Chain A
Amino acid sequence: MLWADGVRHRFGAVPALDDVTFTLPAGHTLALFGPNGAGKTTLLKILAGLIKPSAGRAGVEGGRAGVGWIGHQSLLYGQLTVRENLRFWGSLYRVRGSVLETRIDALAARLDLGEQVDRRVATLSRGQTQRAAIARALVHEPTILLLDEPFTGLDRVAASELAHLVKAFARAGEGRATLLVTHNVEEGTDLATDIAIIKAGRLVEFAPRNARTAEQVGARYRELVS
């Protein structure tokens, strides 16, 4: 579960978020849409504990230890191999020893990293790097997945793989929740159980997706944001 309760935030004199309140229960995947500068990434960072809100409270169940974070950057060290990166990030989450090695091998197999797991990240393609970034986000078996524009720069095949993995994450265990920030209404809607739209720092829509299609969500988005 993740929640925000009356969250407001300002960057100096510039308001970024204004009274954002919602709760995303376990088992749900929320797609958060909004134009540039609407406050999507700020909200995500507040939920992850990267930014302290000016007012209100926000967080995720289990705290930072339960968060898997995927951004449009990989957060990986280019001069280390994928395996060395995963060992480092796993250790930070107190996953160590044989448990960590087993997880790395399992993730490498699941994400089809193959021999790339022992190659330096700097030598990987964009798609391979993104798969390695997903392995990094999952190595500590998080219960909350926060994704910030993860489809940026991905080709169609890599984007499809990522969407498949996000779905697999949601299905893989109880108590899991996902928040996906994206511009891509089609991909976001396809993954979501709930849809939120943010405009100028205010949450103007938060509703179950139900049977709405991407076209219907896109029309609603344009109606609210224009």
Chain B
Amino acid sequence: MGEILRDAWVVARKDLALELRTKTGLVSAAVFTALVLTVFNFGRDPTAVAALDLAPSILWVTFTFAAVLSLNRAFQLELENQALEGLLVSPIDRRSLYLGKLFANLIFVGLVEAVGLPLFALFFNIPIINILLPLAGLIAVATVGFVAVGTLLSALVIRVRFAELMLPVLLLPFLIPPLIGAVQVTARLLSGRPLSEVSGWLRLLLAYDLVFVSLATMLFSATVDE
């Protein structure tokens, strides 16, 4: 297992180095996040619906679309000069390749969310300082599930035409359960309710992470091998 994780980190480090070199994906996703929040901010009638009622859904819709945008690039990197072929010929375990992509995507999506969260608080005038720790924890738990499934599916669609369109079509149905859970827990957190009220949703999110990280790690080989 140690060797698998070490190889995974080699892959993740390379992906992050590539991203930091160009910053194209990171900047695009961060700008996209800011734009979506802006559109939602000006597209709602504050006299009709309270910001607090809409805020949890808007936060998660924004993060979901930003994650999809980010995940699209995960395997696009490997199409350049057919590097994917080299990765598959190399002796690293396929699980290392998947986990490496997962780590890099988690860091990448996490950075985008770190940009989006303060903007969300600013646009919707919602104080999050007091709940920052549990909210960050919730975002982390929900993001692991999103990204685990998204990383697998981005590998699946890499060789098909219109991969950018196929990924959201395949991914979004899988995201419905964690999205519902994340919205429910966020709503309770923003209302100042105790987390014990949503312990069932939290358990669902954790179970989703566990099941999909394990499943995706096992199934990854079938998606990349011809």
Contacts and interface: CB of A to CB of B under 8 A. Distances in A.
A79 B90 contact: no
Contacts of A50: 85, 88-89, 225-226
Contacts of B18: 77, 79-80
Contacts of A79: 18, 21-22
B89 A49 contact: yes
Binding site secondary structure of chain B: helix
B17 A52 contact: no
A65 B92 CA distance: 9
B81 A73 contact: yes
Contact of B17 (A64, A65, A84): A84
A93 B91 contact: yes
A75 B88 contact: no
B83 interface: yes
Interface string A104-126: 00000000000000000100000
B226 A51 contact: yes
Nearest to A92: B90
Interface in B119-147: none
Interface in A76-112: 76-80, 84, 88-89, 91-94
Interface in A31-53: 45, 48-52
Interface in A119-140: 121, 136
Name the residue among B77, B83, B92 with the largest chain A CB count within 10 angstroms: B83
A71 B91 contact: no
Nearest to B96: A92
A91 B89 contact: no
Interface residues of B, number: 23
Interface string B81-115: 11101111111100000000000000000000000
B86 A75 contact: yes
Interface residues of A, number: 29
Contacts of B85: 50, 69, 71, 73, 75
Given A50-B88, A92-B91, A80 B83 contact: no
Contact of A69 (B21, B89, B92): B89
A4 interface: no
B14 interface: yes
B8 to A, nearest CB: 11
B10 A92 contact: yes
A34 B20 CA distance: 43
A92 B87 CA distance: 8
Given A45-B226, A92-B87, A93-B90, A73 B21 contact: no
Nearest to A52: B225
Q: Considering the complex of A and B, which 7 residue pairs feature the smallest CB-CB distances, nearest first? A: A75-B86, A65-B91, A73-B82, A92-B90, A64-B91, A51-B226, A79-B21
Interface of B: 7, 10-11, 14, 17-18, 21-22, 77, 80-83, 85-92, 225-226
28 contacts: A45-B226, A48-B89, A49-B88, A50-B85, A50-B88, A50-B89, A50-B226, A52-B225, A69-B85, A73-B81, A73-B85, A75-B83, A75-B85, A76-B83, A77-B14, A77-B77, A77-B81, A77-B83, A78-B81, A79-B22, A80-B17, A80-B18, A80-B21, A88-B10, A92-B87, A92-B92, A93-B91, A94-B91
